Amino acid sequence: MRSFSHAYKGILFALHNEKNFQIEIIGGTLAVILMLFFPLSGLERALIILSIALVLTLELANTALERVMDILKPRIHPYARVIKDVMAGAVLLVSLAAIAIGVAIFVPYLGEFLRF
């Protein structure tokens, strides 16, 4: 139970302090609503859930790594900026992939829905 409590506190920290995490939560919530609205296959649902989890998990890892780099700030190493930028790039790539997956899955359903 203690581990769950710490994990919950970590997620709440990111939710309250990280604008990108807040935006990603909104996007994930929208994807879940669309997922429940349209008759997606099991594979499509799994891809949506996995995409959301991957984006949020990588954002949490990015937040943790940024905090570690901030601790080192008094003696900042030139690679600290590189590390932060690389992690931000990783979050960007996985976010773009999640958007592409969402578009590939939802556009046909939205097109069908709008024809009615």
For the chain, the domains span 2-115
Q: For domain 2-115, which CATH number applies: 3.80.30.20, 3.30.160.270, 1.10.287.3610, 3.40.47.10?
A: 1.10.287.3610
Average of per-residue pLDDT values in the chain: 93
How far CA 52 is from CA of 7, 47, 90, in Å, comes to 18, 9, 15
Q: Which of 24, 59, 66, 112 is catalytic?
A: 59
> pLDDT tens digit string along 1-26?
888 999 999 999 999 999 999 999 99
Annotation marks residue 59 as catalytic = yes
| Mean pLDDT of successive 10-residue stretches along the chain, which has 116 residues | 91 95 97 96 97 98 91 76 91 97 96 87
